[in-house]
Structure 1
């Protein structure tokens, strides 16, 4: 089956039909690079207002786990994505700047970026840019399988009532919330880190969202998370990552996939800190449960 709703076709492959070996190959070939010249313009996305431009960074072939896609683009002024359901996958809209109106199950609030709102499986969501300039936007989709599903409500959410306090789960990439961690995974110096979204937030094998800042001169050592894959989206800065023995340069706008059982290490380069949003996706629900138990705060 193929879906062309987003202006290009997305292969929807059931999990289990593709083995881990199919995802082998040079890491450098798998890194997704943000390139506005490749953005495609679409209007009325999920019956939303106005238009936007975006392109895929990573697709179903990036990881052996159930990552379906990561998209990167811009939402034009007074434009958005209409309210729609995902019943077998989960999605998270991220704004990297500005303000946006996020909706979950018909309740809408304005959040200042950089911010993200996850949409749990079986719930509805939307986003609207009520401002006068484009919003930089990122979208992450993870499923129970690698199959994407959607059900549109025909609701643009334009003029929706705004709740002053969000009635849904949200997070901000707020550096003031980060905490220092010395010699992370055997690396050099101190990095700043926090777990922004815990495993319990998600119903699929999606397991966490982390915020990581690597200051100048610091690094993160080589390590793996058992049963877990990750995507490192570079929010800002530049550096290099070594994944399964292969070192690749990374910079703002890159999405770097790290598959199950692949060790990764990180080194900052340049004058600015290297900042990541990290997406964790377990091999399956059993691996997610084991990871959640191993990382649960001790009482």
Structure 2
């Protein structure tokens, strides 16, 4: 199955399928576009995530780091610490360390987002 049409500026071979991410529904697509392996600094990774229609990233938590979601296109429904709200293109949603969060795409169009994970700032030297 070709996914090149989903993210036109990325080679389709870069996207990987992730089934039931964090217990979610359906198969999403993800590509890690940066990782500071072994480097000291606050950025752990930046992922491009594509949620096709009727897919979701299930509720989950991350210890000792924070994530920021940037909605690039589409619409969805986010859960953050028990509160549900709509998200759409241009929204920036921060998530604190240990915060419970998840994201669903209940629409008929794909939802694209960037996820930045920021590690503990105390590790920066």
TM-score band, normalised by shorter chain:
0.7 to 0.9
How far apart in 1 are the matches of 2:39 and 2:109? 32
Deviations 1:6-65 (A, max 9, x none): xxxxxxxxxxxxxxxxxxxxxxxxxxxxxxxxxxxxxxxxxxxxxxxxxxxxxxxxxxxx
- Kindly indicate which of the two structures has a greater share of residues assigned to helix: 1
Residues 251 and 202 of structure 1: is their aligned pair in 2 closer, same or farther, counting only changes over 3 Å?
A: farther
1:202, distance to aligned residue in structure 2 (A): 6.0
How far apart in 2 are the matches of 1:244 and 1:211? 23
1:266, distance to aligned residue in structure 2 (A): 0.6
Write out aligned runs for 1:5-20 (5 A).
none
1:220, distance to aligned residue in structure 2 (A): 0.7
CA-based RMSD of the aligned residues comes to: 2.3
Aligned to 2:65: 228
* Structure 2, unpaired ranges of 5+: 1-6
Residues 217 and 254 of structure 1: is their aligned pair in 2 closer, same or farther, counting only changes over 3 Å?
A: same
TM-score by length of 2: 0.83
How far apart in 1 are the matches of 2:83 and 2:11? 29
Higher relative contact order (CA 8 A, sep 6+): 2
Write out aligned runs for 1:196-207 (5 A).
196-200=33-37, 203-207=40-44
Aligned to 2:32: 195
1:178, distance to aligned residue in structure 2 (A): 1.2
Aligned to 2:10: 174
SS state at 1:185 partner: helix
* Structure 1, unpaired ranges of 5+: 1-113, 115-172, 289-299
Aligned to 1:284: 121
Aligned to 2:76: 239
Structure number with greater Rg is: 1
How far apart in 1 are the matches of 2:39 and 2:46? 10
1:200, distance to aligned residue in structure 2 (A): 3.0
1:199, distance to aligned residue in structure 2 (A): 2.3
1:226, distance to aligned residue in structure 2 (A): 1.3
1:228, distance to aligned residue in structure 2 (A): 1.1
- Aligned partner (choices 163, 183, 188) of residue 20 of structure 2: 183
Instruction: Figure out how many residues of one structure are paired with residues of the other and give that number.
Output: 117
SS state at 2:17 partner: strand
SS state at 1:270 partner: coil
TM-score by length of 1: 0.37
On the 8 A contact 2:29/2:50 being kept in 1, the answer is yes
Write out aligned runs for 1:1-299 (5 A).
174=10, 176=12, 177-200=14-37, 203-286=40-123
On the 8 A contact 1:204/1:285 being kept in 2, the answer is no
How far apart in 2 are the matches of 1:247 and 1:175? 34
How far apart in 1 are the matches of 2:38 and 2:21? 25
